[in-house]
Structure formats: C-alpha cells, structure tokens
Amino acid sequence: MDAPMILANAQFPARHGFTTRQGGVSTGPFASLNVANELGDDPDHVTENRQRIMAAFGRPDVQPHTVTQVHGAQVAVVSEMNETTEADAVMSDQVGDVLAVRTADCLPLLLVAPDVGVAAAVHAGWRGTVAGVVPTALAVMRERYGVTHGALHAVIGPHARQASYQVGPEVQQAFRQAGYPQSVLVADAQGRYRLSVAAAVRHDLAGAGIPSHQVLEVDGCTIDDADRFYSHRRDGARTGRHWALVEVPPRKA
C-alpha cells in the first residue's frame, strides 16, 4: 500500500502538510487521494483516503476541523462552529486541534503564532482574496488572541501558479479595484493576463507586518502537474480535492 504523499516545509514551526493526489484508493477522475465526498466519489474511498492522510500526518486519532467553503472572507473559530458553518478560514487556540481547508487550484495558506499557540488554515481563491479573507483572518488572530503579526509564520501551498493561470477581464478588474500591485497580473506577448494569487497573498501578509522571511512556500502548480495534483481549471468540476492541514502547537513557555 502506497503511503499518501504529503508536502511540507521543514522551516514552518508547526506540524502541517499539503496533500497531493497520490497514495489513496479513489479511482477514475478522483484517483487517488480525494478528500471530498460531494463530488461523486465513492464515500468509502473518501473515508479510507482521509484515514490514510491522518495516519501519515501523525494524528490517526483525529479528523480535522473543516468548514463549508464559499469563496468569501468569513473566518470560523473551532469552538463556535457546527457541521454547516460556512467560511473560508478556520482557526483555533486549542492545542492539538487539526485544521484543514480543501483546494484544487485555489491557494491554501497556513498560519501559526507559536508564542501564543494559535493556528489557522485559509482557503484563498481569487474571489476570497479580493474579498479580504487573508486580512480578515489576520485581524481575528490579533483581536481575539492578541497575536502580534510580526511573530506570525505563514506557508503557502501548491496552487494554480501565474505561468499557467490565465484570467479574464472580470478578474483583472477585481484585483485592480482592490488595490493590488501590478505584479499580481502580468500580460504575456499576446496580451493575455496571468494571475499570481501568491503575489496578492504576500502583499496582504506584508501589509499586516509579517516579515518576508517568515512567509514560506511549498512548490507545485496544480494546473501543470497532473501526476501530483487535482486541478479544477485543467480537469473541470469532476475532479478531486486536496487538504491543507495544520496542527495547533502548544504555546511557547
């Protein structure tokens, strides 16, 4: 049995990971490590995939806290959630809680404040980014838990990278009106624009005072690498989803 492939950055100061599509039991367009139930995959396969992931993650005793994602800027706190909570970021200060968001081209962002013992998982698609999901999550961390943004660490996971992410006028206009820098949108020789959600997210993190050396990345383009990643843009709606996972660490003494 192949173990799930979970990608991580060794410099990030909390247990975390970004799943790939490799190491599960799903078949067809969901092959093989799909974590989403509502897309037409066999529910037993999804359950097995999730169990394999959590075993590989080192927490076979738990299932992560997740939310119903709606491409907005709502932030959910685990202690106040229920099974139908709609949000695009999930946050907790309870040691050992595992938080997760799902992606298949959208950017997954994990945040941790080791000195306070707070973590968050953020689903940052283009709509959520323009809506302000990252600044909103940072504001909740500051206001609710007293997190100092200079002490925050972030890691960006695999997503649709700029070289392959062509967008139309609606998206171009949305990012320009939101005040993002020119680097977010780059035109190629044919005048087609390509979007870097990572550049937008980095802009938001820098604007909140998070030092650039504390913003890490895990490489990978979901559109380009069909062997390792699902992609809604490449394959359409009938494809799998990944998890981006982070565990709330104990507060530093």
Confidence of residue 253 (pLDDT cuts 50, 70, 90): low
pLDDT at site 1: 62
To the nearest 10 degrees (0 to 180), the angle between helices 197-207 and 133-145 is 30
- Cα dihedral 196, 202, 207, 213, rounded to 10, equals -150
pLDDT at site 191: 86
pLDDT at site 205: 98
Closest CA to 108 of 225, 25, 236, 222: 222
* Sign of the CA dihedral with 143 first, then 145, 151, and 153 last: negative
pLDDT at site 5: 96
Q: Domain ranges in the chain?
A: 6-161+212-247
Task: Give pLDDT tens digits for 220-248.
Answer: 999 999 999 999 999 999 999 999 999 99
pLDDT at site 133: 98
Task: Give pLDDT tens digits for 9-61.
Answer: 999 999 999 999 999 999 999 999 999 999 999 999 999 999 999 999 999 99
Are 208 and 149 within 8 A, CB to CB? yes
Task: Give pLDDT tens digits for 111-168.
Answer: 999 999 999 999 999 999 999 999 999 999 999 999 999 999 999 999 999 999 999 9
> Over 80: is that where the pLDDT of 176 sits?
yes
CATH superfamily, with its number, for domain 6-161+212-247: CNF1/YfiH-like putative cysteine hydrolases (3.60.140.10)
> Over 90: is that where the pLDDT of 3 sits?
no
pLDDT at site 2: 80
Task: Give pLDDT tens digits for 81-106.
Answer: 998 999 999 999 999 999 999 999 99
Q: Exposure of 166 by Cβ count < 10 A (0-12 exposed, 13-18 middle, 19+ buried)?
A: middle
Cα 87-132-154 angle, rounded to 5 deg: 85
Question: In 3-57, where does DSSP find H-type helix?
Answer: 43-57
Task: Give pLDDT tens digits for 55-87.
Answer: 999 999 999 999 999 999 999 999 999 989 999
Are 89 and 100 within 8 A, CB to CB? no
Phi then psi for residue 134, to 5 deg, are -70, -55
CA distance 53 to 127: 28
CA distance 117 to 112: 7
Confidence of residue 210 (pLDDT cuts 50, 70, 90): very high
* Sign of the CA dihedral with 206 first, then 209, 210, and 212 last: positive
Are 241 and 104 within 8 A, CB to CB? yes
